[in-house]
Each structure stands twice: as C-alpha cells, then as structure tokens.
Amino acid sequence: MSSVNLEYVLRLESLLSRIYPREHIADLLKKILHLADKWNYGKHRTTGWVDGTNVYLITYGDNIRHGEQPPLATLNHFANTYLRDIISDIHILPMYPYSSDDGFSVIDYRRIDEHLGGWSDIHHLSANFNLMFDCVINHISRSSEWMKGYLHDDPYYKDYFIAANPELDYSRVVRPRASPLLSPFIKTDGTELYLWTTFSEDQVDINFKNPQVLLESIDVLLQYAASGGQSIRLDAIGYIWKEAGTRCIHMPQAHNIIKVWRTILDEVIPGTRIITETNVPHHENISYFGEGDEAHMVYQFPLPPLTLYAFLRQDTTTLTQWAKSLNAEARYPDTTYFNFLASHDGIGLRPTETFLTDDERKYMAQETLRKEGRVSYKDNGDGTHSPYELNINYLSALTEPEDSTEMKARKFLAAQALLLSFIGVPAIYIHSLLGSENDLDGMHQSGINRRINRKKLDLTTLEAELEKKDGLRARIFYGLQTLIRHRREHPAFSPQAGQRVFDLGKSLFAMERYDPKTEDRISCIFNISDHSQMLKLAVEGKDLIGGEVFNGQMRLRPWQVVWIKHKLKAPERLGRLRRWRMKLIKRTKRYTIGIKRTMR
C-alpha cells in the first residue's frame, strides 16, 4: 500500500464518524485506503483551478449522430472540428446503460452504453478536452444488478435500498415530483414491500445508511476521475439521506458524505472538481460550498428563470437585486458558481421562491404554455401541486414565434452574453450553442415533456445549416463563438475576478468585472428591451463586441450588449509601470545573485 498522508486519514475518520457508528469506522477507513490504491493513489497529475478560459459544453453523448458511427466518435469529430478554440470542458450527460429518464435511471455505473460507444471513445475525446461525467448516485434503475440482487435476497445487496411503511405520514418530505414517493416491489419469495422512489418507480433510491453503499459510491467516483472525468456532477445529491420525520433533503449526513468524497478525490486524484446539482432555493443551494470543503462548484439555479423573467417583462429589477446579493456571499478558495441558462432539463422554478411571487411564476408558466411548452408540477405534501419546471427550449422561451431570424438571434445572444459575463464558470447547452428551438415532435411522440429540448441532430444536416450564414443556427453559433473568444482573452472575466452589479434602471442590466492583478476592468451593459436606451457611464474605453469607442455615453439599440473595456487612466498606467519595474528589478537581483554563487 502507498504511503498515506496522516492528516488525510484523520480528516476522513472525523467525517465518517459524523455519518456512521464508531464500530464501522476502522473497517471503512481500511477499505477506502484499499480503493485509493486500486485507482493509483498518488499517480495522477494535479491540474490547475478554473480560470477565464474555462467554458463548459453540456451535451448528451448522442445529441449529434452520423449514420452508423458511434455517437461518441461523432461528438469527438464535431468538437475537434468546431469547438477547439471556444470550449475547454465537455459535460457528457449520463452515458451508461439505462432503462428510462433519458439516462438518469442507470443500470450499470461502470459501463458505457454500447449504443454510444465505449471507454476508448471517452479516452479519445479527453485528448483535447477536459471531461465532466455524471454521477447519478441518489438512485439506480430497478433493472440494475443491485436491484435484482436485493429482490433475490442476495446477502451482498442487503440494505442497499430503503424499505418503508406506506401507512406512515410522509407529508414533510420535500418532493420534486408529483409521482408516488413509495413504490411497491415483490421479492422472489413473494414478499411484497415498498421502496423509496423519489423520482419515479424505475429510479429506486439507494440506502447510504449502509456503509457498503458508501464504498460502492467511492469506487465509482474514483473510476470516473481516473478515466478522464476531471469534473463530476453529483445529480440530485441533496436527497441522498433519508431520516424519519424530516424533510429528507440537505441532511447533515448528505453534506458530510460529499465532504468525504471531496477529501478522497483531493488526495487521490487531485484536480478533480465536484459540482453539486440541487434544484432548490438559492440559500439552500449554496450551502453545498460548505466551508470551502464540499463542492468546488454549485449550479447557479436562479440565473435561468430570473434571466428569462427579465427578458419576458423587459424589466431587470429582480435580476439586479438578486445579482447584487451575490457580492455578499462568502466565497472560498477554489470554489465558484457553475453558471448556465439552459440544460437537458427544463427551467426550474423552485430557485425563484425567495425572489418571485406566485403570480410572477404563474405568468412565466402561462408564457411557456402560450409558446407551446409544458409545465411540470411537484407534490407539496398537502394534496396540492405547484409548478416545478418549465419545459421549453430556452431560445423559444425568450423569443416570440413571429420574431425575425435576426431578432431571435439578437435576443438570444444578449442572454448568452449575460451568462458569459457573470462571475463563475459558464456552461452552454448543446442546443443553445447550435440555436435550436422547440422540438414539438419529439415531445408529442414520446409523451415526455423534457424531450422538447433534447432533439437528436444529424451531423450532415447540422453542418449544412452552419454554412448558411443568415440562418438562425449560424447566427447564434458564430455569434457565441465571437463572445466566447472575447471572454477568454480578458482576465476580468475570470472566476477569481471581482464583480459589482449596479442599477441603471429597469431596462438595463449592468455589472462591472475587474481583475485586481492585471487591472483589467470591463463594464457589461445589457439593453433588455425592445426600445433604444441612452447609456451614461463615467467611463472611457472601447466596446469589445462592436469595436466602438466609448467616451461616457452612447445609445444602445434594442437588445444590444456592450462589453466596455476601461481605458487605464494616467495614474493607473503609472502604477502598472512601477509594478512591472519592481518585478524586473527583483528578477534581475535573483539572476545576479545566482551568477555570483555559481562563480564562487
């Protein structure tokens, strides 16, 4: 066994003792250290933390298809042809064998779905891109070997799942769905029982009260990290611990389990990034930062609905108030927000609970239905249901059906520019990058609401559409390409750079990003209205997007965005020159001392 860091072992022991009885700890530690050796403890290179060049792409492994070619190979071809200079990380949504929910009912965590390709395709893709894997560890498919073993009373799988009495009161349990919390199953000996199924009867919740389940999860996570998953998304992770009489979400044990995973990955495969996915109100979501010892990144769930609301109402008031509050939140080293506007799921409404009223959420739901989308509901535990998610393509949600192609592109690119401006790391969904709209046929034919935004694209057709420069796909793809290139060139957009949000009235959203190290400072102004607006700022500089010189004021066209790079004033330029001079003097002194020592 490799030599082990004592501090690491003591931290693990402390965390495990907050989750399990003391008699389990020694055996757990021994088995965890064995797993670390199995996955080459100490033999993985350390990579740096994220910076302004990191831009994630969110995609299914088969969102783009090409004849009989394995879809992961097609993704590799498309990414290397079109994305090398704009995307750093590719998040592949669940790529394992599954039985339902478009991948989120995993049958086997350790295999690649043969319809997508194999681990060799993942290896080829990782040659030029960092990869992000999904870890759907709250639940597993009823078709899995784990579940089959449990129902056959295999001793190995005893207590892998959560049996519950359907006669008890579960009204306090937080529900993300309107489906039954408990589902009936029959064991091979004929015994009937009810198991916990938070998301559907095909997705059976795993019992983390069993220490063996924790060990299984550690083995899976280490395999992912060792196989190219530099980032790992923890799906629906807030639900992993259940306790009678509680809300069964965000339990202290759930937080401590994530801290165990973080501690192990930091030690065994350093540089691995944990991203928690918890579609809940903002203050609950950011609790997964812990004290800088839990998630590296948390999904910024209020951003999609609040941006959409601002665009629909042409009023930035709520968006501005929320964005200002981010400045007051504690941030720890090597932590930041995972920003996105669209994903494979719909637009979550729970994160707006402290920012929008019920009537404002109702308005968003009505707009979604007017634009041929759908609304998914959750069970409130008291017999009522409320909107949980808007199922609609983000471009279709932002725009009007009668808008021209040019207007659709302008509105949508304004929203994407806002995403790229926010502090944190931006993640762009494949259908946003490619300017897709509602896939009504996919939704109607499948009967699945979320299929409205999960269309499979033919590579040949897609490439032909990208050649049509005046088409919607090309306008959005190449417009985003330009924005991303600007972002990656300027330190002010780094996750470590500062952010200041200020109020310029309801039609404009305004923020300033600044990097104290390089003194790079950019004012990002968005006209979120269909009228021109006069912008006045005590700033001199140049708009990175349009190339126009800014001398304190300009008239913004409807839906126009400007990124004004500040011109350094004379004292600032002098200060920078002085710092450069001091660095040069220090380097010269070190060089001179080195020569003298050599001569001796």
* Residue 589, amino acid: K
Whether residue 388 sits in one domain with residue 364: yes
Whether residue 503 sits in one domain with residue 425: no
200 within a domain of the structure (yes/no): no
Domain with 527 in it: what CATH number? 2.60.40.1180
Distance of CA 148 to the CA centre of its chain: 32
Whether residue 537 sits in one domain with residue 443: no
577: confidence class by pLDDT, cuts 50, 70, 90? very low
Q: Is 293 marked active-site?
A: no
Domain with 412 in it: what CATH number? 3.20.20.80
Whether residue 564 sits in one domain with residue 460: no
Asked if pLDDT for residue 115 goes beyond 70, the answer is yes
Q: Which residues pair with 354 in a beta bridge?
A: none
Q: Which residues pair with 71 in a beta bridge?
A: none
Whether residue 298 sits in one domain with residue 447: yes
579: confidence class by pLDDT, cuts 50, 70, 90? low
327: confidence class by pLDDT, cuts 50, 70, 90? confident
The pLDDT score that the predictor gives to residue 241 is 98
Q: Are 488 and 55 in contact (CB under 8 A)?
A: yes
228 within a domain of the structure (yes/no): no
5 within a domain of the structure (yes/no): no
Asked if pLDDT for residue 205 goes beyond 90, the answer is yes
Final residue of a domain: which of 493, 525, 553?
Answer: 493
Residue 185's H or E segment, with its range, is strand 182-186
Distance CA 194, CA 184 (A): 4
Q: Each residue of 117-140: pLDDT tens digit?
A: 999 999 999 999 999 999 999 999
| 577, burial (CB in 10 Å: exposed 0-12, middle 13-18, buried 19+) | exposed
Whether residue 565 sits in one domain with residue 590: no
Q: Each residue of 211-266: pLDDT tens digit?
A: 999 999 999 999 999 999 999 999 999 999 999 899 999 999 999 999 999 999 99
Asked if pLDDT for residue 370 goes beyond 80, the answer is yes
Average pLDDT over residues 133-161: 98
Beta strand pairing call for 508-515 and 520-527: antiparallel
Residue 378's H or E segment, with its range, is strand 374-379
Whether residue 530 sits in one domain with residue 477: no
Asked if pLDDT for residue 592 goes beyond 70, the answer is no
User: What is the pLDDT of the chain when averaged over all its residues?
Assistant: 93
* Residue 97, amino acid: P
Whether residue 459 sits in one domain with residue 437: yes
Whether residue 332 sits in one domain with residue 373: yes
97 within a domain of the structure (yes/no): yes
568: confidence class by pLDDT, cuts 50, 70, 90? confident
Beta strand pairing call for 182-186 and 192-196: antiparallel
543 within a domain of the structure (yes/no): yes
Domain that holds residue 529: 498-569
Catalytic hit among 202, 219, 235, 439? 235
| 23, burial (CB in 10 Å: exposed 0-12, middle 13-18, buried 19+) | exposed
Whether residue 133 sits in one domain with residue 110: yes
Distance CA 344, CA 452 (A): 9
451 within a domain of the structure (yes/no): yes
Domain count, the chain: 3
Final residue of a domain: which of 493, 520, 548?
Answer: 493
Q: Each residue of 497-508: pLDDT tens digit?
A: 999 999 999 999
Q: Are 205 and 161 in contact (CB under 8 A)?
A: yes
Asked if pLDDT for residue 583 goes beyond 60, the answer is no
163 within a domain of the structure (yes/no): no
Whether residue 484 sits in one domain with residue 529: no
pTM of the entire predicted model: 0.93
Final residue of a domain: which of 470, 493, 516?
Answer: 493
Average pLDDT over residues 561-576: 75
The pLDDT score that the predictor gives to residue 192 is 97
17 within a domain of the structure (yes/no): no
Whether residue 246 sits in one domain with residue 126: yes
